[in-house]
Amino acid sequence: EVQLVESGGGLVKPGGSLRLSCAASGFTFSNYAMSWVRQAPGRGLEWVSFITDSAGSTYYADSVRGRFTISRDNSKNTLYLQMHSLRAEDTAVYYCAKGKGMIVASWGQGTLVTVSS
């Protein structure tokens, strides 16, 4: 069974940094692309970032490019999202997602990031 468990969320001040992690199990992590998708309170889903299976390519939404960095450690079956220069509008539940390329197939339960002074 695919399991994706996010961690690292919390309360951070504007301008601060946070690193999210996603521990994957139940599948061969190194064979799959992964994505981060977020959902602001009461809003819809928003794609944040994507990384290929080998980490050879990464892509970002315009709203986070230059502030967020996606990475992965295939030896630890873990996906990361390093977030810098956080803004109030980054407040959201962040979901880790297993992909078939750009197709999101499985979702984690999410971790809440709150940016507030």
Partner 1 sequence: NFMLTQPHSVSESPGKTVTISCTRSSGSIASKYVQWYQQRPGSAPTTVIFETNQRPSGIPDRFSGSIDSSSNSASLTISGLKTEDEADYYCQSYDSTYQVFGGGTKLTVL
Q: Is 45 in the site for partner 1 (CB under 8 A)?
A: yes
Q: Are strands 103-107 and 45-51 parallel, antiparallel or unpaired?
A: unpaired
Using CB under 8 A, which of 73, 85, 100, 116 touches partner 1? Answer: 100
Q: Is 46 in the site for partner 1 (CB under 8 A)?
A: yes
Shortest gap between Cβ of 110 and partner 1 (angstroms)?
Answer: 6
Q: Is 61 in the site for partner 1 (CB under 8 A)?
A: yes
Q: Is 27 in the site for partner 1 (CB under 8 A)?
A: no
Residue 57 pairs in a beta bridge with none
Token pair of 103 as six digits: 């197709």
Q: Is 40 in the site for partner 1 (CB under 8 A)?
A: no
CA 35 to chain centroid: 6
Residue type, 96: C
Using CB under 8 A, which of 29, 32, 50, 68 touches partner 1? Answer: 50
Phi, psi angle pair for 17, to nearest 5° = -130, 160
Closest to 113 measured CA to CA, from 5, 3, 20: 20
Token pair of 89 as six digits: 């509008």
Of the ranges 8-16, 18-26, 43-51, 72-80, which one interacts with partner 1 (CB under 8 A)?
43-51
Q: Which residues bind partner 1 (CB under 8 A)?
A: 35, 37, 44-47, 50, 59, 61, 95, 100-110
